[in-house]
Every structure is written in structure tokens, then in C-alpha cells.
Amino acid sequence: MSETTHGQKAPGDHVPEDDLAPGEERDTAAILRGVRGYLVGLVLATVLTAASFWAAGSGLIYGPGVPVALVALAVAQMGVHLVFFLHVTTGPDNTNNVLALAFGTLIVALVLVGTLWIMAHLDHNIMPMDELMNMQR
């Protein structure tokens, strides 16, 4: 990615120029680069998906390790989608997009971890329903 565009690129945006003269065509090298990027993404995503289904079904992985493997594979695949399909990169033209993504990820993590943590505690401390019924009599 050595296009020297000024300003940042938007996510999923890989146009080197803003403008074309009438009748002008984009160069084929850019098309080939684009297609190749998506092909690499497709292959990686397919491999990771296949690995996920295999890890869940094969029984070859140590039981308690299966969820860990599945989550790791899912996170890897989301990264593949972000990089190859949404074109989120670490380049300086992507700073704003990456910062927004980081903030979104933080909120998602807070919602998920916070909910599971609190609800697990509640579940642990709450009185079972039948005992609660007995107390009310």
C-alpha cells in the first residue's frame, strides 16, 4: 500500500484519485491488486471457517480447550475480514478509522464482559426459585 494520497482513506475505500477525466479508465494494475486482495481474504476466511467447524466437531482437541480455540479462530477471522474486505489498515491514512474501531471494540468488550461478570455473580448469589417459593408461604 504505497499510494501517496493526501488525507485519510475511508474504510473500504481504495481509490487512488478522486477524479477521472471523461472516457478515462482506471489502470488494470489497480483492478488486479483489488481482486487479489479480496481473493487472499476469501482464502484466509475459508481456511479459518473450516478450522472452526473442524475444531468444534472433531473431538481431537482437549475438551475445555475447544471454546478457547473457537474464540481465537473467530477473532482471527474478524481481523481477516477487517483487513481484506473493509480495508482497515495501520497506515497513517487510516488513523481515524482505526481509532473509531478501537473505541467500538472497547465498548463491545465492556458490554460483554460486564454483563457476563455481573450476571454470573447474580446467578451465583440468588436464591433458587423453589426456596424462594417456600419462604413466601
Partner 1 sequence: MAHAATPGGSGHHDPHRLGHGEVPVSERGPAPKRIVVAYGFWIFLLSDFIMFATFFAGYAVLVSASAGGPTPRELFDLKLVAWETGALLLSSFACGMAGVAMQARSARWFQLGMAATAILGTAFLAMELYEFTHLIGEGAGPGRSAFLSAFFALVGCHGLHVALGLVWLTTMMAQVWAKGFRDDIVRRTQCFMLFWHALDIIWVALFTVVYLLGAGA
Residues making contact with partner 1 (CB under 8 A): 2, 4, 6-15, 18, 20, 25-26, 30-31, 34-35, 38, 41-42, 45-46, 49, 52-53, 55-57, 63, 66-67, 70-71, 73-74, 77-78, 81-82, 85-86, 91-93, 96-97, 100-101, 103-104, 107-108, 111-112, 115-116, 119
Q: Pick the closer one to partner 1 by CB: 15 or 134.
A: 15
Q: Pick the closer one to partner 1 by CB: 7 or 137.
A: 7
DSSP 63: T
- Burial of residue 72 (CB within 10 Å: 0-12, 13-18, 19+) is middle
Smallest separation, CB 59 to partner 1 (Å): 9
Smallest separation, CB 127 to partner 1 (Å): 16
Smallest separation, CB 137 to partner 1 (Å): 23
Q: In terms of residues, how long is the chain? A: 137
DSSP 88: -
Q: Pick the closer one to partner 1 by CB: 116 or 127.
A: 116
| Side chain identity at residue 13, one-letter code | D
The CA–CA distances, whole Å, from 3 to 7, 8, 73, 108 equal 12, 11, 31, 33
Q: Pick the closer one to partner 1 by CB: 126 or 137.
A: 126
Distance, first Cα to last Cα, the chain:
72
Q: Name the nearest CA neighbour of 97 among 106, 86, 112, 84.
A: 86
